[in-house]
Structure 1
């Protein structure tokens, strides 16, 4: 998968990008966990999400927030990271003007940022939120949640109690005109350990149901080279 470098609000940002085969392939932007706790775009959960979207035919980008890896800048307590995510979405859209849909996904801290981006960008059609830290960060900004999506959590998460995420999912599911699914993985901790394949399969199955026109491919295909800006 080719490395890409694109301009962010506080310097250049580093990412990995897969370009979908179809000229109207949907887009997926995936966000990593907390930068100050070792989170990077190469996190195993983010990697599993990335390949689930790739297998469903999406043009897919994961990238490092400011101050992580080769991305410039420094941690900004979420506000700057939200701006980074918006710049990443802009970059993807510039290469995919005919995209049929646009999705955002994230893990832990990345899920919190992803849901904020969802509120600010009306072109986002759906989301996948894995282990959203509902016990740490405020999610009341989702009033109402503008798009349908999927929330996944592990029943043995020792960092984010499952009850706090179930409460968030229940609240969102009661809203009109959207459908929010909530699925748990039995015995999974916050990092999903040996359940990563199950996590990826759950996301891929969900996407197959809600984006049925996209044909799955048996394995990730070679990515096309893209220009760096």
Structure 2
């Protein structure tokens, strides 16, 4: 799992990168929670999602947003972080121009950035939005949502209340041409404390289902 430093819009960005074994391996990029609340690319859920992609043959990348770890720059309330995510994806796509598609996974704040990145990237085949916070962040840009994906959140999430997430899911499910898979982890809080294995298992099952559909 090589440490990498690559150029971002506001200085160098620090990441962890694992190339796929084939020239056409799809790309999986994972985005971490809020930098002001301790979010880094080494968050347990981000780390596990990275390995989930890697174990399924993806080229996997996770990285620190600006101002986190060895990444240069300063927190920019989502605007700069979206630019960071776009630069990170540009960087890995430059290394893997024949990659057959992209998957975007984000947790909490990273889910908001990930969904915005999704809107900019028509090559994105799918997404995983873990504990998104539509009660805090504006998701109205999803008009329409460009690809099918998974929204997964905790039953006892007080940071992103289930009813707020449900409103977002219902809005997206009304769109034609995409399928939104919603999963609620029973008893889980925003950080899935004690239930990370269940969370990652659900994400893995969803990814395998989608990959099997492509191959069928």
Q: Which TM-score band applies after superposition, normalised by the shorter structure?
A: over 0.9
TM-score scaled by length of structure 2:
0.96
Could you tell me which runs of 5 or more consecutive residues in structure 1 were left unpaired when the two chains were aligned.
216-229
Separation in 2 of the partners of 1:214 and 1:181?
16
Q: Is residue 56–residue 207 contact of structure 1 (8 Å, CA) maintained in 2?
A: no
1:214 to partner: Cα distance: 9.0
Report the counterpart of residue 7 of structure 2 in structure 1.
7
After superposition, residues 1-229 of structure 1 pair within 5 angstroms as 1-212=1-212
Structure 1, 141-150 or 18-27: larger mean CA deviation: 18-27
Could you tell me which runs of 5 or more consecutive residues in structure 2 were left unpaired when the two chains were aligned.
none
Separation in 2 of the partners of 1:187 and 1:48?
20
Higher relative contact order (CA 8 A, sep 6+): 1
Instruction: Provide the aligned C-alpha RMSD in A.
Output: 1.3
Q: Is residue 101–residue 125 contact of structure 1 (8 Å, CA) maintained in 2?
A: yes
TM-score scaled by length of structure 1:
0.91
Separation in 2 of the partners of 1:58 and 1:214?
14
Please give the secondary structure, in 1, of the residue aligned with 2:172.
helix
Separation in 1 of the partners of 2:13 and 2:210?
31
Please give the secondary structure, in 2, of the residue aligned with 1:90.
helix
1:55 to partner: Cα distance: 1.9
Separation in 1 of the partners of 2:150 and 2:91?
25
1:18 to partner: Cα distance: 1.3
Q: Is residue 51–residue 200 contact of structure 1 (8 Å, CA) maintained in 2?
A: no
Please give the secondary structure, in 2, of the residue aligned with 1:29.
strand
Separation in 2 of the partners of 1:158 and 1:174?
26
Q: Label 1:179 to 1:92 Cα distance change in 2 as closer, same or farther (>3 A).
A: same
1:37 to partner: Cα distance: 0.7
- Once the two structures are superposed, residues 111-149 of structure 1 have per-residue CA deviations (whole angstroms, 9 ceiling, x without a partner) of 000001111121211110000011100101101001110
Separation in 1 of the partners of 2:48 and 2:143?
29
